[in-house]
Structures are given as structure tokens and as C-alpha cells.
A and B are shown apart, each in its own frame.
Chain A
Amino acid sequence: MAFNPLRSLGVRAPLVNQLPTGPYYGVLAEFATPTDLFRACERVRDAGFTRWDAHTPFPVHGLEGAMGVRRSKLPWIVLAMGLTGAASGFGLQWWVHASAYPLVISGKPYLAWPAYIPITFELGVLFAALGAVFGMLALNRLPMHHHPLFRSKVFERVSDDAFFISIESWDPRFDAADTGKLLESLGARSVELLES
């Protein structure tokens, strides 16, 4: 397997974003209102499912709590990247100015640390920002050019007026028949099984 720097940080996201293979992608359930979806999410969470998601046309306040989403690892990536950037900025200037090409500038010492601060700060911010953007993409398994959810015709309304829960087939609690029935009992307007 190719070297994956994210994996060494404990991030389980392959650089080439692929979903696990199997006969099914999972179950997709459609709900009519955000309230229905919200209550269904709480029940799915309480049933112990871990590999699932909710899809809405607009942000639903508090939904992450109803889904039991754990806090992201992203802040740690940003912190590590920020510190790396700051250290690189300071180190580069130190090395160039005091070792590789020593030069007296306006009577300042070689290690003129105050002069290094702006670049140190800027590189720290730059690395942190890049870490935030690309870390977010990696944790979200993006870019991904196709997703099995797009096979569903009803799912097109996710950007309009419908609310969805998808439970993935590699969830340990997934069962093609029972999981669909569970979602139906939670008030789903329609439930369909999606091929992968």
C-alpha cells in the first residue's frame, strides 16, 4: 500500500477515496420533515449504529447531537500543521541568516529573532489553514467522484425539500431487511436498498 501520511496520524482515510465493496451500499430512508428526521436520528443513534449519515437541504440546528457525532480530529491536524509551519518559518530564517549565508543587516545579530516573527507567524497561519482545508477534505473522504447514493431517484430532492438517513451496509448492526424495517417504523416516507 502506498505511503499515507494521514494514516500515520491515526486518520483512517485512504488517499484514493473508495468505499468498501459489497453487494449493497446500504439503506436510504426519506423523511418528510426535519422534526421527523431529528427524532429518527436519535433512535438510530440509540440503536447503536455507527456508520450512517443524515442528509438535509439546510442545516438543522442540533442535529449533530441527535446523531451522536463525536468531535472531529481536525483541530489536532490544524495544531500540528500550525506548529510545523511556525517551526519551518523560524528554522528557515535562522538557518539562512545565521548559518548558510551569514550577513550583518543594520547592525543586528545573526540570530535576530524579532525580525523572524512575522514570517514565523505567517507560515504558521498558512500551514494551519492548509491543514484545516485539506484535513477536512481527507476526513470527509473528499474528493469522491461518485457515490452510490446518487443512484437513488428520490435522493435528488435532498437539495430541495426532503430529509434522508442512510445507513451503510458495513455497519456491524446492519441487516438488509431489519434495518429497513427499523427506518420504516421511525416514520420514513420511503425506504430503499441501494446497490454499491
Chain B
Amino acid sequence: MTSDRDLVALRPEQATIPPGHSWNRLPVIGGGCALLGAVACAILGAANPKQFFFSWLVSFLFFLSLALGALFFVLIQYATQGGWGIVVRRIGETAFGTVPVMAALFVPLLLGLHDVYSWSVPGAAEHDALLRWKAPYLNVPFFLIRAALYFSCWSFIALLYYRGSRGQDATGDPAVSARLRRFAGPSIIVLALTQTFASVDWIMSLTPHWYSTMFGVYFFAGSFVGFIAFLSIVAVAMRRAGLLDTVISAEHLHDIGKLLFAFTAFWAYIAFSQFFLMWYANLPEETIWYKARTEGSWMAVSIFIMAGHFGAPFLYLMGRAVKRRGWTLAIGGAWVLGMHFVDLYWQVMPTLHPEGLRPSLLDVAAFVAVGGCFVAAAGWLMRRQALVPLRDPRLPESLAFENA
């Protein structure tokens, strides 16, 4: 039992990266990876630009989905006035702080728009009644306007919450929490709509004849479970590195583990529902997407996703002890995060390689380049800030949190 006397606020030095700590080098390490990846992309991509653009799209979506999942995680904490997660909230704030960088990383895709999105090729709609019908939505200018709109909305929300939370570190004004809570509901609606349309634009329109009315939720489910997996790894890694090791307790890891478990099941529910209705109705314009993913070696990937994105982590994360020990939780998180990448790869790549799974060095190069930028941006933010919202009114509640 924790008495109120134990609830002293954190001293700032408990919640910052000490000078000389290896995590201070994250921006340099990330920047180095980004540079290396970019050079590799340039060399390898010159010979095979089409492969480059698809590989880039997968890695871009992967890291963007983590940032968007982080945004939802923080918004939902404000909206519900959640207490337990305050000590890990800044990890989320740091992750969604990379949204402007992700906007810059979207630009290379525009150079290969015609290579990636068949509907964008001039004259594609001429002999295609369906594309003509969809042209008022699926045309290049409107596509660009929408992309700009998505990134503006995300950057605006991200900045609002990042600056609000950072500002509270200095002032300790509880009114900031109340104000951000009021904005949380509308922000979640904006995020849900923009994320849905972004997934339609960037993934669904790869197969422009196909549509799924629950694709937005599918992308959301992947992005949120991906972020929770990322969060579990970062929280454990920070404890190991001696950062926040007195702040993040087994109780917090337990709750992150519960979310990871729950949203693994949620992802499976959404993924299966999307497949199930199309399989059952058996209409060609719907089954075309799954047909491409159940032929040749893509079928093996499909089965791997079923077993690996749901079956294995569902059973592994069920127990209590697994979620409370750092290294066992981090293994589960790393596995789910890897499966999230496989899931996105499986959504995008059959458009380029309908003949089967064709891994490429460019997949690795693009991942290193985009991931390097993500790590560099997040690491840069981490150095400039406290690692927890020091003066959030619910910080004492979070520090003392215990699972009943």
C-alpha cells in the first residue's frame, strides 16, 4: 500500500538523459543510418526505381503508422483522463513529434507517383469505366491536396499536444490538462477521418478497382498495435539504459502488455472481418485483393500473418508474468512490431510483385533510411525535454499506480 507521503514529484534529473549517456547519441546514430540508407537507396534505386518507390512506401507507412498510433494513444489518455500512463506519455509525444519529418519523407513518393499508383498514369482512365467513375476522387491534384490536408491536420494536433505538454513542464498549470482534454475528442474525430482517407489514398488505391469499407479501421488497428509494441520496447529499453528505471514500474509494463494483448485481438478481429465478408459474398470486385494475396508464395505470407500477427502473440501475451517482466514483454513487443511491418509489406507489395514474394535489398535500404530519420528526430526531441511530463497533475497518480 502506497501512502500519500510517497508521492513526491519527480526531480528533473531523474527524468532527463544525463550528459554523456549513450542515448544522447541517438540523433547522430539515426542521422548516420538515414544517410547510409539514402545513399544505398540512390545507388540501388537508380537501377530499379519502381522497386525503390514501393519499398519506400512500405517503410514510410510503417513509421508513419507508429507516429499516428502514438497520437491516438496520447489523445485517448487525455480524453479519458487516464492516470496510469502519464509516465510513458512522453514516449508517445516524442513519437508523434516526428510527424513533420514524415511529411518530408512523403515527398520522394511524389517523384514515383506514376510508378506506384496505376490510376495516376495519364490516360489510365480512358479505357477503364471504373477509373473514369472514380476519377473525381482519384486524380493527381486532389490526391496532393488531400495529402497536404492530412499532414496539416496531424502536424497541427501533434504540435498542439506537444507544445501544451512541454509548456506544462515549465508552468505546472493544471489548466493546460483541462484545455487539452477538451480538444481531445474533436482531435480523435479528425485523426480517425484523416487516417481513414490516408489509408484509402496510399494503400487501397494501389489496387484502384478494389475497395473495402473497413480498410481505414484495418490501418488504424495495425498502427495502434504497432505503436503499443513500439512503446513496450522503448519503455523496457529505457529501463535497461538506466533512464526512468525508478519511474516506469512493472505495473506500467503490465498495462502496456494488456493493451498490446487487447489490440492484437482487435487487429485480428478487424483483419478477419474484412476478409470474412469478402470471402463469404465472393464478389469478384472484392475478392480480387485477396486473390492476389493467396496465390503463390503470398499465400505463405498470408498464413504467416494469421499465425504470427494473431495466434502466437495472443497465446504468448495471455499470461500475467510475461507482461510484468521487462525482457519477456519486449520480446512480445518486438515480435508484434515485426509482424506489423510484414502486414504492411503484404498489403503493398503484391501490387509490384503479383508473381510472389520478392524481397529486395531496397526494402532494407528504405527501412534504414526512413527509420534513421525517425530515430534521429525522436532522439533529438528526447534530448531537449524531460522524459516524463514533470508537472502533469496526474503524475503522482501514475507514479503510484498499481494494478488491482
A interface list, Cβ under 8 A from B:
38, 61-62, 65-66, 71, 75, 79, 106-107, 114-115, 117-118
Contacts and interface: CB of A to CB of B under 8 A. Distances in A.
Residue of B1, B275, B282, B404 contacting most chain A CB atoms (<10 Å)? B1
Contacts of B318: 79
21 contacts: A38-B1, A61-B1, A61-B404, A62-B1, A62-B402, A65-B1, A66-B1, A71-B320, A75-B320, A79-B318, A106-B280, A106-B282, A107-B282, A114-B275, A114-B276, A114-B279, A114-B280, A115-B280, A117-B272, A117-B276, A118-B276
Nearest to B281: A106
A62 B404 CA distance: 8
Contacts of B320: 71, 75
Nearest to A59: B404
B274 to A, nearest CB: 12
Given A66-B1, A75-B320, A107-B282, 19 more contacts: A38-B1, A61-B1, A61-B404, A62-B1, A62-B402, A65-B1, A71-B320, A79-B318, A106-B280, A106-B282, A114-B272, A114-B275, A114-B276, A114-B279, A114-B280, A115-B280, A117-B272, A117-B276, A118-B276
Contacts of B275: 114
A123 B275 CA distance: 21
A118 to B, nearest CB: 8
Contacts of A71: 320
Interface residues of B, number: 11
A62 B279 CA distance: 50
A46 to B, nearest CB: 16
A79 B279 CA distance: 30
Interface in B270-293: 272, 275-276, 279-280, 282
A105 to B, nearest CB: 10
Contacts of A79: 318
Nearest to A38: B1
A114 B402 CA distance: 40
A38 B1 CA distance: 10
Nearest to A71: B320
A78 to B, nearest CB: 10
Nearest to A60: B1
A23 B320 CA distance: 42
A171 B276 CA distance: 56
Contacts of B276: 114, 117-118
B370 to A, nearest CB: 35
Interface string B100-140: 00000000000000000000000000000000000000000
B89 to A, nearest CB: 24
A62 B251 CA distance: 14
Interface in B204-228: none
Contacts of B404: 61
A108 to B, nearest CB: 8
B382 to A, nearest CB: 35
A186 B87 CA distance: 39
A8 to B, nearest CB: 23
A61 B401 CA distance: 12
Residue of A106, A114, A118 contacting most chain B CB atoms (<10 Å)? A114
B214 to A, nearest CB: 16
A114 B280 CA distance: 8
Contacts of B280: 106, 114-115
B284 to A, nearest CB: 13
Of all A-B residue pairs in the complex, the 8 with the closest CB atoms, nearest first, are A62-B1, A114-B279, A114-B276, A61-B1, A117-B272, A106-B282, A115-B280, A117-B276
A63 to B, nearest CB: 9
Nearest to A61: B1
A65 B403 CA distance: 12
Contacts of A117: 272, 276
A66 B275 CA distance: 50
A75 B320 CA distance: 10
A62 B276 CA distance: 45
A66 B1 CA distance: 9
A117 B320 CA distance: 26
Nearest to B402: A62
A107 B279 CA distance: 11
Interface in B365-403: 402
